[in-house]
Structure formats: structure tokens, C-alpha cells
Amino acid sequence: MGSDEGFILASASPRRIELLESAGLVFDREVSLAVEDEFSGGDPADFALAQAIKKAAAVAQRRPGRWVLAADTVVVAGSEVLGKPRTTEEAHRMLEMLSGRAHRVITGFAIIRHGEDSGVFKTVTSEVVFKELLREEIEGYAATREPFDKAGGYAIQGRAALFVKEVRGSYTNVVGLPLAEVVDELHRLGIARAFGAVRP
């Protein structure tokens, strides 16, 4: 089931690219042309996984014989799924919702090969606790424009690191890819090894 050709990351996300490269993995990159859906209800974990499968499938169909990895991350505050803010006002609202409370970050990831029955379909959940944010902090952070392409309106690896009191679970999951879980599955499928690690 393994492949000497490695795998394709179906993403243009610099954060996911950097995480995989930090593990010493060699891979190709190809942007998925799948249109991302808006969350319309149901289980956020199911939604994130469905989006990841959709992204991976779009690339796998164009690259038969190659394993494709894709992921999708959502932020859940209470019962609301927070997408990527499109305006300063939306960024303010999201940060106000996250201020002084815990929220969940869920990443669904899929590793598939076109025409292959087996594959990987998993979700990983982390909990993040924010400190109480001052209005000046919210306005100042939104003004950096960093929130605008991030689920939940913040980047934990960026300036928003100052807002985070605690992370329960995978930190890399909050960045955008649960690295330990993904690498374990790549090993299991025989697709790639990190730092030359060999699985028994």
C-alpha cells in the first residue's frame, strides 16, 4: 500500500506547509479547486472532515496513483462555528466571543488515493483558553489584518499568541494540522517518514 512517490498536500496554506516541512517530510503541493462550503448546522467535526475529504478528492482525481492529504479547521465557540472574518467588524465580533473563555479547534484531515478503498479520515479536537481581551487589544489586532484568513479570526502562531492562556490537546492542531496524528497515519500507510523514522 506504500508509495515511493510520497504524497501531495492539497493546500496552499503556508502554515500546513511549514508544519510538514518541520517534520522533515518531502511532499508535493497542489491547490485543491474544491469550493469550500459554509457551515449550515450539524456536527462541526463532521463538517470539517467532509471539507477535508472534498479538498483531497478534487486533487486525487487529477493525480491518480498518488496519495493526497487535505485538512480543514474550524473554530467552535459555544454552539457557534466561527469561519474566517471578511471584515474588521466580523473580526471584532469573533474576538469578543473568544475573550475570557475556552473554545474548541477541530481539524478534519483525509489521506486518500483515487480508486483506493482504504484511506484515513480523522478529526482532532483541541481546546484553547483566551485571556480577557481589552478593546484596544481587539482593535489593534484586527488592524494588523492577521485575522482575515484564519478560522476564528486569530493565528495562535502569530500575534494572537499573546491572547492564549492555555492549550489543551494538540498545539499544531490549532495552527492548522495535528502533526503527530498526521505523521503517524503517513507512516502507517507507508507513504512518508519523518526524519528517517522507521515503523516496526
Rounded distance, CA 32 to CA 65, Å?
Answer: 17
Which entry of 37, 72, 149, 184 is annotated as an active-site residue?
A: 72
Is 46 labeled as catalytic in the residue annotation?
no
d(CA 100, CA 16): 28
Beta strands in 102-168 (DSSP E): 102-113, 120-130, 164-168
Torsion, Cα of 83, 12, 64, 110 (10° steps): -40
* Alpha carbon distance 82, 116 (integer Å): 33
CA 125, 129, 133 angle in degrees (round to 5)?
Answer: 140
Residue partners of 162: CB distance under 8 A and separation at least 6: 137
Burial class of residue 127 in the structure, from the number of CB atoms within 10 Å of its CB (0-12 exposed, 13-18 middle, 19+ buried): middle
3-class secondary-structure state, position 167: strand
Reading phi first (left if > 0) and then psi (alpha if -120 to 50, else beta), residue 83 is in beta
Please identify every residue annotated as catalytic.
72
